[in-house]
Structure 1
């Protein structure tokens, strides 16, 4: 029998991007733009990704190494203010095990000619299957990939 535990953790990550808030929001909210940066390591191959970006809409991303386990992200959008804020809840699974449940808030604001993004995540990490430090590091990597996608994208994308 699995020992049932919950570890709670909150982290805040800030990033500055040399793109206007509308452009950053687009990279977070458009399915094709988000697919360019929101994925697992390259060696995993392409993720299966669906996104219905609206309040109450769902987003899923499924992928993982060929030998397993499968990583599954399942989100529900709770609040959206264009170019300013996105709030969603999400579950993470490894194969059939739910490993965490989180609330994430993304705040966007102008910073000079660019954008300051503040991500706050409040997580409940379940039954010692997940580690808050690893989640933070993975989230930092994703935000760095977002930044790289903004540098590569045309100004109107």
Structure 2
């Protein structure tokens, strides 16, 4: 007897945008420096920078979700929470 496993893949894309009242360099630092990332991301350990006091963060994610274990909607929901945490962190640092 042969067991058959049905495999699946679901591709998803989403875009999240936020205007943050801090300089773009501060937003970049929040992503680039692992010590700073740990403060808002909650874990362990193409960008143009100019003079500004407001940064516009645009995060575009493409994903392939295998075998129905998660979906693009679930990933987007979790990422929205992380972006909100990042904005709260940055605003608190301003």
- Residue 8 (str. 1) matches residue 11 (str. 2): yes
- Superposition pairs for residues 5-154 of structure 1, below 5 Å? 5-39=8-42, 47=43, 49-50=44-45, 81=46, 84=47, 113-153=53-93
Check whether the contact 2:8–2:66 (CA below 8 A) recurs between aligned residues. yes
Structure 2: 5+ residue stretches without partners = none
- 1:59 aligns to what? none
Query: Structure 1 stretches of 5 or more lacking a match?
Result: 40-46, 51-80, 86-107
| Number of residue-to-residue matches in the alignment | 91
Q: Cα distance, 1:5 vs. partner?
A: 0.4
**Is the Cα–Cα contact under 8 Å of residues 10 and 120 in structure 1 kept in the other structure?**
yes
More strand, by proportion: 1
Q: State the TM-score, normalized to the length of structure 2.
A: 0.84
* TM-score, normalization by structure 1: 0.52
Q: CA RMSD in A?
A: 2.1
Q: Describe the shift of the 1:141–1:122 C-alpha distance in structure 2 as closer, same or farther (beyond 3 A).
A: same
Kindly state the Cα deviation for residue 151 of structure 1 after the two structures are TM-superposed. 1.7
Q: Deviations over 1:33-79 (max 9, x none)?
A: 1001113xxxxxxx4x23xxxxxxxxxxxxxxxxxxxxxxxxxxxxx
Larger relative contact order (CA 8 Å, sep ≥ 6): 2
List 4+ stretches of structure 1 deviating above 2 A. none
